[in-house]
């Protein structure tokens, strides 16, 4: 058997699409597909000038890719949604340089499921150990203080913890389909007061003469993608310096068919769905749905809830979608059916003092996070309690090629 070769790739374009897809397809997450990551780079969204240097680590046998770790060298902490600024402050107090750091995630997408991708029939534990060793050598050689894997796959997490990586818990929002037959059946899971509130919110949008229509496949035109960028940019601009405007117009307008097959646009319109007054962009893989971006030309009460939560939930129920992650932030999600759940990031710090201090702090911080999540979920307006926190979020494999 040919010997393995390790290669660091400064762009995903250095790795043939068919080889990347063959290695990552089993996970079934569109956010780690070659078309998604390549579009981020090629559009100028995720590039060194924006503080993201792609640094994907591949293991090759001859000219065949057998394993890959999607990685980035980061010059800041924006676009991660795991807020480690306190770590940077601690590093400064110790006279250490916190940036650049090495990061594993799908850029600007707080989506559960990061892991190394190993080709079928390969020795996954052995290749994982090789990749971890190479990453540690890279960090030490370049005097990088930390490597951070964010939103890790819960099934992968124990393997990394056993290798000495430290878990840090944060929280996400998640809707889970309890085999609802329709939206009315979903509403029945709420207490009477919140059921009335949701019905009132939906009626107010309809009373304004607006209809929300999901658009998929060929219905997602170049013009609609340009319109989606308009909404995205407009919404980000409302937050000023905190607007989190990471994606260029080219990411939307030049997205290939292979990427668009995983999109669904929820168009709020007064007549023609292709002439939206507000719109949200979600990503799906047939089993899961993720809310990503939205914007509106209207200041219409409750329109955000309809376009970003209620219409996607109704569509998810109709399609048999198992889970819906609406995106980062927003306590208002809780009263509209999204349960707080923990998610873990995994970390290695290559300065002994820094490592010791953070590992001493983490157990208490993680315990506090779990207590906060329990308290949040105890106040949810459901007639029955949410699933226990011990239930893992286990993404089921889904072929990337399926719509």
The predicted pLDDT at position 221 comes to 96
pLDDT tens track for 247-286: 999 999 999 999 999 999 999 999 999 999 999 999 999 8
Contact in structure between 245 and 233 (CB atoms under 8 Å): yes
Domains, the chain, ordered by start: 4-171+342-378 (3.40.630.30), 178-321 (3.40.630.30)
Q: Which structure tokens are listed for 327?
A: 């995106």
Confidence of residue 242 (pLDDT cuts 50, 70, 90): low
pLDDT tens track for 201-231: 999 999 999 999 999 999 999 999 999 999 9
pTM of the entire predicted model: 0.93
Statement: residue 396 has pLDDT above 80: no
Average pLDDT score over residue span 369-386: 87
pLDDT tens track for 67-111: 999 999 999 999 999 999 999 999 999 999 999 999 999 999 999
CA distances from 55 to 81, 101, 128 (A): 20, 11, 17
Q: How far apart are CA 136 and CA 138, in angstroms?
A: 5
DSSP state of 309: I
Statement: residue 399 has pLDDT above 50: no
Statement: residue 334 has pLDDT above 90: no
- DSSP secondary structure, 44-106, as one string: TSSSGGGTEEE-EEEEEETTEEEEEE--EEESS-TT-SS--HHHHHHHHHTT----SEEEES-
The predicted pLDDT at position 290 comes to 98
The predicted pLDDT at position 387 comes to 56
The predicted pLDDT at position 395 comes to 39
Average pLDDT score, the chain: 92
């Amino acid at each position: 058997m040919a010997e393995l070769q390790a290669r660091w790739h400064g762009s995903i374009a250095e790795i043939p699409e068919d080889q990347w897809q063959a290695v990552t397809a089993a996970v079934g997450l569109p956010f780690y597909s070659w078309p998604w990551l390549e579009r981020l780079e090629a559009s100028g969204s995720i590039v060194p000038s924006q503080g993201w240097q792609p640094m994907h680590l591949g293991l090759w046998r001859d000219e065949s890719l057998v394993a890959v770790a999607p990685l980035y060298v980061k010059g800041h902490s924006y676009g991660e949604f795991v807020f480690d600024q306190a770590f940077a402050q601690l590093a400064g107090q110790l006279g250490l340089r916190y940036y650049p750091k090495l990061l594993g995630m799908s850029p600007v997408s707080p989506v559960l499921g990061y892991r190394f991708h190993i080709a079928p029939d390969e020795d996954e534990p052995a290749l994982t150990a090789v990749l971890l060793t190479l990453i540690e050598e890279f960090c030490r050689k370049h005097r990088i203080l930390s490597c951070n894997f964010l939103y890790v796959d819960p099934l992968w997490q124990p393997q990394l913890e056993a290798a000495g990586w430290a878990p840090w818990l944060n929280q996400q929002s998640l809707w889970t389909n309890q085999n609802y037959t329709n939206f009315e059946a979903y509403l029945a899971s709420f207490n009477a007061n919140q059921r009335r509130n949701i019905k009132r919110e939906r009626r107010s949008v309809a009373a304004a003469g607006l209809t929300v229509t999901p658009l998929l496949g060929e219905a997602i035109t170049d013009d609609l993608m340009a319109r989606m960028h308009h909404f995205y940019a407009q919404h980000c601009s409302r937050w000023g310096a905190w607007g989190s405007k990471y994606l260029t117009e080219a990411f939307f307008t030049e997205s290939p068919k292979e990427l668009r097959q995983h999109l669904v646009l929820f168009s709020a319109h007064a007549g023609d769905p292709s002439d939206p007054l507000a719109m949200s962009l979600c990503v799906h893989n047939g089993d899961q749905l993720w809310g990503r971006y939205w914007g509106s030309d209207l200041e219409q009460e409750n329109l955000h809830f309809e376009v970003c939560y209620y219409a996607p939930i109704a569509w998810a129920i109709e399609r048999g979608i198992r889970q819906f992650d609406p995106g980062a932030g927003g306590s208002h999600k809780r009263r509209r059916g999204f349960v707080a759940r923990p998610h873990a990031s995994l970390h290695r710090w290559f300065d002994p003092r820094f490592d010791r201090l953070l590992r001493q702090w983490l157990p208490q911080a993680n315990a506090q996070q779990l207590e906060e999540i329990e308290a949040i979920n105890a106040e949810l307006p459901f007639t029955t309690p949410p699933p226990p926190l011990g239930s893992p979020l286990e993404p089921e494999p889904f072929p990337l090629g399926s719509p």
